[in-house]
Chains A and B, each alone.
Chain A
Amino acid sequence: MGHEPKDGEPKSSEEEPDERPTVVPKFDPAELARETASSSQSPSNPTVPVKHGDLPRDLHGERTLVRSAAPDSAAPETTQMPESMRSSLLSMADSRVPSVKPQRLPSVGGLAVSSLDRGWEELTLDEPISNQPNTKPSPSDGPFRRETSRLRAPAGQQVVAEDEEAEKPTREHPVLPDGATPSARGIAREDDGAQRHETPEHTVFAPARAAAALTAPSNRPKPMSDPPASLEAATALTPEETIREMRDRFSLGDYTGALVLADGLLEDDPNNPEVKECAENCRQVLRQMYTARIGPLDRVPMVTVARDQLRWLSIDHRAGFVLSHIDGISSLEMILDVSGMPLLDALRILCELAQQRIISFR
């Protein structure tokens, strides 16, 4: 990936004879998989030092297989492989959906709940829901508790993810694409957040599995409403199976995926109370997550890319529309008001624009 230009630098490409400067390199998951695998296997290709915790770990535990629902998944199905390689592949395998709800370890009671968990609980739903994800740490979450104990997230606090440096897509820390499978990114390890060592204070994360949905940038224009491949496969299921799938996704923290399924179910049965409740809960959680990610809505975003360079960005027309409203005067709240699209979509686009450094904040 050494040939890829830095932000704002012109990118020379064989496919594109004219020099088109680009801000964010186009993302190719297959290439990433190859490079990630080769970087951990080939001694001739020195591995870029990766900070422990930046890559998501196995979802179910040390030796558990993550089963893919995506037919085109590049990851080999194996139960054992070198730790470094497996972690890399699993970071890619965010897009895979376990078809079986993972077995939960019993929670360890109130004393064991870390401050981060408390903060998240306060951030999430006010009303308990039947299939609310288990956010209690398992006994294996020991390091998580220790390492995140200094995080504070009091109830209702406006939370800002300030560690953009840690989460922005870089060569050292590749981050998954959002655009292709926005929902599936939610499938991350439950204790993913345990690996965040250098989180500044006043930063609150969504539960790790949900936070993954926030970290991945969208390098490819694709509307949020487009179901990912795994979800398309889910449409072949019977309504009962789809509901089960929706529950699974919700319990695993794949709120976007659960929402897409719920919306699909509601088209056929708009009065199903469970599906309605799940859809609403997904929206609420996602809204909180995106809001936490983007920060206070009274901030005023500014476009950091020169006007004449805008057309070379890799964004879709919806992001282009949101971008057209960013004038250096209007606050995020105003932009959300005038975006003319569902709040979640607008929030996601703003998050992605910020993550791609197309916009910054005053």
Chain B
Amino acid sequence: MIGIDLGTTNSCVAIVENGTPSVIPNRGGYKTTPSMVAVTEAGKRLVGHIAKRQAITNAENTVYAAKRLIGRKWNSPQVKNAVATSSYRIVEGPHHDVRIVLRDKEYSVPEISAMVLQEMKIIAEDYLGETVSKAVVTVPAYFNDNQRQATKDAGEIAGLDVIRIINEPTAAALSYGFGRNMEKVVAVYDFGGGTFDISILEIGAHGVFKVIATAGDTFLGGEDVDARIIDWLVQGFKEEHNLDLRQDRMALQRLKDAAEKAKCELSSVKETEVNLPFIISSGRNEALHLQKTLTRVTLEELSDDLIERTVDICRQTLEDAKLEKDEIEEVVLVGGMTRMPKIQSAVATFFEREPCKGVHPDEVVALGAAIQGAALMDDKQEMVLLDVTPHALGIMTFGSIFEELIPQNTTVPTHRTKIFTTSRDNQTAVKILVMQGESTNAEENELLGEFILTGLRRAPKGTVEIEVTFEINADGIVSVRAKDLETGLEQSIQVTATSGLTREEIKGMIDNAKDDVVDRRSSEEFEAAKQEAEKIVGEIEKLFPQVEQIVASSDFGRDAIEKARAIVERARQAIIKKDVAAIKEQIDGLTRTHRMFKGVVAKT
């Protein structure tokens, strides 16, 4: 069981080993992996750091921040915004869902997220040395059922059984050690690479984490700070050389990498040097270099308004939650940006208390997911989070008013009933619009489904009574039933969250993903065998002259040399043919030959 923080810009995977939660580093040794997917000109798929390194030079075919799109409908404002601002192409899918085009091939958003999840799965499998099949995945507290279902589908496509989806602030609070029979009100300030979220949680006994309020900005993150540094560097270079570095993608890619590096460094040092030799060539074909010193003070000036924006959102959220600052008992910092000293001081100033420290802000969410996963697997553990409805459920009534039936954070399974009446004289039918959300204005909430109850008795308005029942079963499936109490006539609808993909589509994607994993694994197996064989061949080659000299006079020795050459040649042929089995077979012979050669040389 693994815990995965599927972030907008970075993802992280953690496990609980011998009772201790820990993050698993990827092959590069990094504990977080960029949530980026790219397809190269040669059609090769890149995921993680390698995709990030070419994100600007291959911008049209690199997907970033797919999380902003997951589970959303094509006509949603967030998708419209993404279509206008993304460097990659976003098109409408067959079910009014969102598709992304990479090198003329369409991918669904869960499919893209699945590639990231698959990467996290492989990182865990490489570390553990065994197959991983179950996971707890985190999502933002504001994700609706469709977004959560789409995340689950992504997990399924990646070959993971997502046994629980938990809220990111809840996971963060868990890894800070809250939730163990303590009752507290906690603020989780999450400033990540691409998004900012502030959540106020009420942690109750028996593992109930109630999200009192959550707000944020899905287009405010560390990348905006990077952009400010890039602007500063570009402007300085333009003043010096009258050249706009933004016009060159390679220059811009290097600037982006350097800006992020400088930003991270300035969390621990007061100044850093940005040194980019050969950043661009001038009109006279002369290579120019960029060398500038960036101080922490300058960085703070550049990002001051961004930090202020996060504080404003915190202020608004507290007001919405009708809480005073002194009612917040702990402040938890999440996200890489919170390592910035200026942000820590801004948070401390606003909440009038020092934030919790001690857990790495990049890892805290994944660790919380792993803790939750371990708790679910271990029956003896007391701390188990309960599944709750992330948003309120209800129906739209006359005047576009949202009438709530099941409140937010209600533990499931549950059912609630309310009685409504007709709004017009002689009304013979009512339309039940099932919605999800917290706004009293129904139009601002998410429409989950609708149905019509007909055959009502003709009567003045307000006299016919209709009973509406909402029921959520243990699997999270919502059923809504409307019943005419006078006639007993009833209609119902079953609402299941959908990612916008059909079962057939998901099945096809699972098969494709499996093929990709098999290809990748066999390629890795070949590389490992090849490297081993080439290493031994190299050592044998080095010994050939010496051995030839030693055994030159003996027929037996010459025969051995010929045989050794044949083995080396066979190994080479196996490598050329990429025949892993044959390479492995030859490795035995190579090893024996090498041992024999070493023995011959040692005896002399």
Using a CB–CB cutoff of 8 Å, the interface residues on chain A facing chain B are 154-158, 221-222, 298, 307, 310-311, 313, 315-321, 323-325, 329-330, 334, 337-343
Asked if B272 CB lies within 8 Å of chain A CBs, one says: no
Residues of chain B within 8 A of A319, CB atoms compared? 278
Q: Decide yes or no: A154 and B573 within 8 Å by CB, A320-B287, A342-B41 being known contacts.
A: yes
Q: In the assembled complex, how far is the CB of residue B139 from the closest CB belonging to chain A, in whole angstroms?
A: 30
Check if A315 sits within 8 Å of B278, measured CB to CB: yes
Q: Decide yes or no: A317 and B58 within 8 Å by CB, A156-B576, A221-B287, A338-B53 being known contacts.
A: no
A-contacting residues, B29-75, CB 8 Å? 40-42, 44, 46, 50, 53-54, 56-58
Listed A/B pairs (9) with beta-carbon separation below 8 Å = A154-B573, A158-B576, A310-B278, A313-B277, A317-B248, A321-B253, A324-B254, A324-B257, A341-B57
Residues of chain A within 8 A of B28, CB atoms compared? 329
Q: In the assembled complex, how far is the CB of residue B152 from the closest CB belonging to chain A, in whole angstroms?
A: 31
Given contacts A320-B287, A337-B54, 16 further A-B contacts (CB under 8 A): A221-B281, A221-B287, A298-B531, A310-B277, A310-B278, A313-B277, A316-B281, A316-B287, A317-B250, A317-B251, A317-B279, A320-B277, A337-B44, A338-B53, A339-B54, A340-B54
Residues of chain A within 8 A of B53, CB atoms compared? 325, 338
Asked if B521 CB lies within 8 Å of chain A CBs, one says: no
Check if A334 sits within 8 Å of B50, measured CB to CB: yes
What 5 A-B pairs have minimum CB-CB distances, sorted nearest first?
Answer: A320-B278, A340-B57, A338-B54, A338-B53, A321-B250
Residues of chain A within 8 A of B279, CB atoms compared? 317, 320
| Chain A: CB-nearest residue to B281 | A317
A310, A337, A343: residue with the most chain B Cβ atoms closer than 10 Å: A337
Q: Give Cα A118–Cα B527 distance, bound, in whole angstroms.
A: 27
Q: Give Cα A329–Cα B57 distance, bound, in whole angstroms.
A: 21
B56, B287, B527, B573: residue with the most chain A Cβ atoms closer than 10 Å: B287
Asked if B270 CB lies within 8 Å of chain A CBs, one says: no
Asked if B280 CB lies within 8 Å of chain A CBs, one says: yes
A-contacting residues, B551-604, CB 8 Å? 572-573, 575-577
Residues of chain A within 8 A of B76, CB atoms compared? none
Check if B42 sits within 8 Å of A343, measured CB to CB: yes
Asked if B276 CB lies within 8 Å of chain A CBs, one says: yes
Asked if B18 CB lies within 8 Å of chain A CBs, one says: no
Complex interface bits, B264-297 against A, C-beta within 8 A gives 1, otherwise 0 = 0000000000011111110001011100000000
Q: How large is the interface on B (under 10, 10 to 19, 20 to 34, 35 or more residues)?
A: 35 or more
Q: In the assembled complex, how far is the CB of residue B564 from the closest CB belonging to chain A, in whole angstroms?
A: 15
Residues of chain A within 8 A of B572, CB atoms compared? 154, 157
Q: Give Cα A155–Cα B279 distance, bound, in whole angstroms.
A: 41
B53, B58, B288, B573: residue with the most chain A Cβ atoms closer than 10 Å: B53
Asked if B249 CB lies within 8 Å of chain A CBs, one says: yes
| Chain A: CB-nearest residue to B46 | A337
Check if B287 sits within 8 Å of A315, measured CB to CB: yes
Q: Give Cα A325–Cα B254 distance, bound, in whole angstroms.
A: 9
| Chain A: CB-nearest residue to B27 | A329
Q: Give Cα A329–Cα B531 distance, bound, in whole angstroms.
A: 16
Q: Give Cα A323–Cα B41 distance, bound, in whole angstroms.
A: 20
Residues of chain B within 8 A of A307, CB atoms compared? 275
Contact of B285 among A222, A323, A334, A343 (CB under 8 A): A222
Q: In the assembled complex, how far is the CB of residue B536 from the closest CB belonging to chain A, in whole angstroms?
A: 15
Residues of chain A within 8 A of B50, CB atoms compared? 330, 334, 337-338
Residues of chain B within 8 A of A158, CB atoms compared? 575-576
Residues of chain A within 8 A of B281, CB atoms compared? 221, 316-317
| Chain A: CB-nearest residue to B577 | A156
Secondary structure of the B contact surface, majority rule? mixed
Q: Decide yes or no: A340 and B576 within 8 Å by CB, A311-B289, A316-B281 being known contacts.
A: no
Check if B278 sits within 8 Å of A298, measured CB to CB: no
Residues of chain B within 8 A of A316, CB atoms compared? 278, 281, 285, 287
Q: Give Cα A330–Cα B49 distance, bound, in whole angstroms.
A: 11
Check if A157 sits within 8 Å of B276, measured CB to CB: no
Residues of chain B within 8 A of A156, CB atoms compared? 576-577
| Chain A: CB-nearest residue to B280 | A317
Check if B58 sits within 8 Å of A340, measured CB to CB: yes
Check if B576 sits within 8 Å of A155, measured CB to CB: yes
| Chain B: CB-nearest residue to A337 | B40
| Chain A: CB-nearest residue to B531 | A298
Residues of chain A within 8 A of B280, CB atoms compared? 317
Residues of chain B within 8 A of A324, CB atoms compared? 254, 257, 276
Q: In the assembled complex, how far is the CB of residue B511 from the closest CB belonging to chain A, in whole angstroms?
A: 26
Contact of A339 among B44, B57, B248, B573 (CB under 8 A): B57
| Chain A: CB-nearest residue to B54 | A338
Q: In the assembled complex, how far is the CB of residue A305 from the closest CB belonging to chain B, in whole angstroms?
A: 10
| Chain A: CB-nearest residue to B253 | A340
Check if B54 sits within 8 Å of A317, measured CB to CB: no
Residues of chain B within 8 A of A298, CB atoms compared? 527, 530-531
Residues of chain A within 8 A of B249, CB atoms compared? 340
Q: Give Cα A353–Cα B275 distance, bound, in whole angstroms.
A: 20
Residues of chain A within 8 A of B576, CB atoms compared? 154-158
Q: Give Cα A59–Cα B404 distance, bound, in whole angstroms.
A: 88
Check if A340 sits within 8 Å of B250, measured CB to CB: yes
Q: Give Cα A334–Cα B276 distance, bound, in whole angstroms.
A: 21
Check if B254 sits within 8 Å of A321, measured CB to CB: yes
Q: Give Cα A313–Cα B289 distance, bound, in whole angstroms.
A: 11
A221, A313, A338: residue with the most chain B Cβ atoms closer than 10 Å: A338
| Chain A: CB-nearest residue to B289 | A311
Residues of chain B within 8 A of A315, CB atoms compared? 278, 287
| Chain A: CB-nearest residue to B258 | A324
Q: Give Cα A330–Cα B527 distance, bound, in whole angstroms.
A: 15
Complex interface bits, B514-533 against A, C-beta within 8 A gives 1, otherwise 0 = 00000000000001001100
Q: Give Cα A310–Cα B573 distance, bound, in whole angstroms.
A: 41
Q: Give Cα A329–Cα B249 distance, bound, in whole angstroms.
A: 23
Q: Decide yes or no: A318 and B531 within 8 Å by CB, A222-B285, A338-B53 being known contacts.
A: no
Q: Give Cα A319–Cα B254 distance, bound, in whole angstroms.
A: 13
Q: Give Cα A337–Cα B41 distance, bound, in whole angstroms.
A: 8
Residues of chain B within 8 A of A334, CB atoms compared? 50
Q: Give Cα A157–Cα B28 distance, bound, in whole angstroms.
A: 30
A-contacting residues, B282-328, CB 8 Å? 285, 287-289
Q: Give Cα A343–Cα B44 distance, bound, in whole angstroms.
A: 13
| Chain B: CB-nearest residue to A309 | B277
| Chain B: CB-nearest residue to A318 | B250
Q: Give Cα A330–Cα B28 distance, bound, in whole angstroms.
A: 9
Q: In the assembled complex, how far is the CB of residue A91 from the closest CB belonging to chain B, in whole angstroms?
A: 25
Q: Give Cα A55–Cα B273 distance, bound, in whole angstroms.
A: 46
Q: In the assembled complex, how far is the CB of residue A187 from the closest CB belonging to chain B, in whole angstroms?
A: 24
Complex interface bits, B385-416 against A, C-beta within 8 A gives 1, otherwise 0 = 00000000000000000000000000000000
Q: Give Cα A222–Cα B40 distance, bound, in whole angstroms.
A: 25
Q: In the assembled complex, how far is the CB of residue B339 from the closest CB belonging to chain A, in whole angstroms?
A: 23
Complex interface bits, B360-379 against A, C-beta within 8 A gives 1, otherwise 0 = 00000000000000000000
Q: In the assembled complex, how far is the CB of residue B343 from the closest CB belonging to chain A, in whole angstroms?
A: 29
Q: Give Cα A171–Cα B249 distance, bound, in whole angstroms.
A: 38
Residues of chain B within 8 A of A342, CB atoms compared? 41
Q: Give Cα A156–Cα B280 distance, bound, in whole angstroms.
A: 38
A-contacting residues, B435-479, CB 8 Å? none
Q: Give Cα A317–Cα B530 distance, bound, in whole angstroms.
A: 35
Check if B40 sits within 8 Å of A323, measured CB to CB: no
Q: Give Cα A138–Cα B251 distance, bound, in whole angstroms.
A: 49
Residues of chain A within 8 A of B41, CB atoms compared? 342-343
Q: In the assembled complex, how far is the CB of residue B565 from the closest CB belonging to chain A, in whole angstroms?
A: 11
Residues of chain A within 8 A of B278, CB atoms compared? 310-311, 313, 315-317, 319-321, 323
Q: Give Cα A310–Cα B527 distance, bound, in whole angstroms.
A: 33
